[in-house]
Each structure stands twice: as structure tokens, then as C-alpha cells.
Amino acid sequence: MSGRVIATFAAGGLFGVGLVISGMTEPRNVIGFLDFFGHWQPRLIAVMGGAVAVYAGLVALIVRAAGARTARLLPARNNRIDTSLVVGSAIFGVGWGLSGYCPGPAIASLGSGARGAFVFVAAMIAGIVAAGVVRSRAAGCETTSP
Amino acid sequence: MLSGLLGGALIGAAATLYWVATGRTAGVSGILGGALREPQARAERLAFLAGLVAAGLIAALASGRASASVTATPVLLVAGVLVGFGTRIGGGCTSGHGVCGVSRGSLASLVATATFIATGAVTVAIASRVLGAGGAP
């Protein structure tokens, strides 16, 4: 097994432990955050804030230590705001609000044997496949235009 | 709130490790989509997903219980399709846009995050009144 595969397994494990510790694998906590007009629970702000601060800080440190070579490897910063970004995110939010699951916590919850997580992840994979079909059709249209 | 910050910090460290190892953003919907569609780098994407599942397994063994879904099966099916479809069309989810993209100062990720929080909040507000389920526990 390559070192890279071991590293990404460790990254997934650490990511999952972070989700469990922060309570994000419990759908009721996520729905509580989205319940602005009811009993609002602000905890998800702390989770996102902690994750953003550590990721931004560590990436900046690594880039500074390793120099320009690493800076070129930074993930591209996407600044293109288009219809698919907004419509896709809006659709995602509806599913997130209905279930309290987003992709990370849902996949981590498979390990806990939560029956709802299996139902959700199977449906999510179907949605991903459907999006692939829609996007490849859209790309096909683009290539036929001048 | 402290457990939220600590868990969030671990998520940030994990995203950094994934980026150092692969040069890519640790967005879970993107990793799952890539594992399903692209043959290259499939092993390292599957390894990340396996790590997530392993963390859930260890948590369940440690606590002796599974995370409780609050939603009925038909609603979960609809929600799953919407989440899978929406995250791929929108180019990311809570981790890819909400954590990694926002950290990089991406305006598109800020717009995406504001959008899915807004539609999520409206959905919870409606669902808690119409379905009587979900919403405030």
C-alpha cells in the first residue's frame, strides 16, 4: 500500500473523529443549527470556525516553510459564481435541512451502523450519478457550439 | 461549544493532511464523486472514505450506540438524492465549500455556503411546521 493511501486513510479517520467529537454526526444537532426560527443551536459555527482557522493557518505555515513550489500546488481558488453553483447549493441545502445529513457525517455514520445513514448514502450516490449525467449532457452541448 | 471548536480543529488538521498528501481539496462530496467516476486516484479517495467510516465505527463501539436519524425513510431518500445531486452541481458541500473554500478566501465558496445555509434554514422552518418531525427536538 502506498504512503499516500495510508495518509488519506489517516486524514479520513481524523476528519471523522472531528465530526464525532463536535456532534455533527448527530442529525438533530445539524437541524438545531438550521432552526434559526426555533431553538437555534450555534455549535456548527464553532465547528466551521475551528476548521477554517486551523486549515487556513496550517496551509499558510506550510506554504511559507516550503516556499513557492508548494504555493503552486494550492488548490485553485474558485471565484466563478454562476447559476449551477447557486442552484446546486440551494438544492443541497434543502436535502441537508430535511435530513440533518451532509456527505461527511453521513458516510462516517455508516460505520456506526445507523440504518438511516445507509438509506441516505445510497440515495446520495444516485443523486451524484444523476448529476454526472446532467453535467456531461451540458458539456456535450458546449462542445457542439462554436 | 468547546467540543465544537476541538472537533472543528481536528477537521481542519485532517483537511490539511489530505491536501499535503494529494494536492487536492478535502471536500467529501468531491472525494465521493471522484471515487465513483474517475479511475485515477481512486485508491486514495476510497482510503479517505474508509477512514471516515472507521471513525464512525470506533465512535459507536466507544459509546455503545449508533447516531440516531431523526427522519423517516422516504424523506431520507429524497434528501439523499438532493444532497448528492446538489453538491455535484454546486461543486462542493459543507467541507469543500464551507471549510476549505472559505479558508482560501473563495468568494464562490462563501456564496455557496450562504446559499445552502439559507435554503437549509428555510427547509427546517417549513418541515418543522408541516411534517411536525425534524425541527426542534
Express each pLDDT in A3-49 by its tens digit. Answer: 899 999 999 999 999 999 999 999 999 999 999 988 899 999 999 99
Give Dmax over CA atoms of chain A in angstroms: 54
Chain B residues touching residue A13 (CB < 8 angstroms):
14, 51-52, 54-55
A112/B104 touch (CB, cutoff 8 Å), yes or no: no
Structure confidence at residue A1 as a pLDDT band (50, 70, 90): low
Whether the CB-CB separation of B88 and A128 falls below 8 Å is answered with yes
Rg (CA), chain A: 19
Whether residue B60 is contained in a domain is answered as: yes
Amino acid at A100: G
Whether residue B108 is contained in a domain is answered as: yes
Whether the CB-CB separation of A11 and B48 falls below 8 Å is answered with yes
How many domains is chain B built from?
1
Span A68-115, pLDDT tens digits? 666 666 766 667 899 999 999 999 999 999 999 999 999 999 999 889
Whether residue B112 is contained in a domain is answered as: yes
- b/e for A36-60, b at 16 or more Cβ within 10 A? eebeebebbebbbbbbbebbbebbe
As given in the structure block, the three cell numbers for residue A83 are 447559476
Whether residue B24 is contained in a domain is answered as: yes
Find the CB nearest B76 among A18, A93, A120: A120
A94/B111 touch (CB, cutoff 8 Å), yes or no: no
Instruction: Write down the pTM of the prediction.
Output: 0.92
Whether the CB-CB separation of B80 and A99 falls below 8 Å is answered with yes
Whether residue B17 is contained in a domain is answered as: yes
A35/B128 touch (CB, cutoff 8 Å), yes or no: yes
Whether residue B137 is contained in a domain is answered as: no
Q: Which structural domain, as residue segments, surrounds residue B87?
A: 2-130
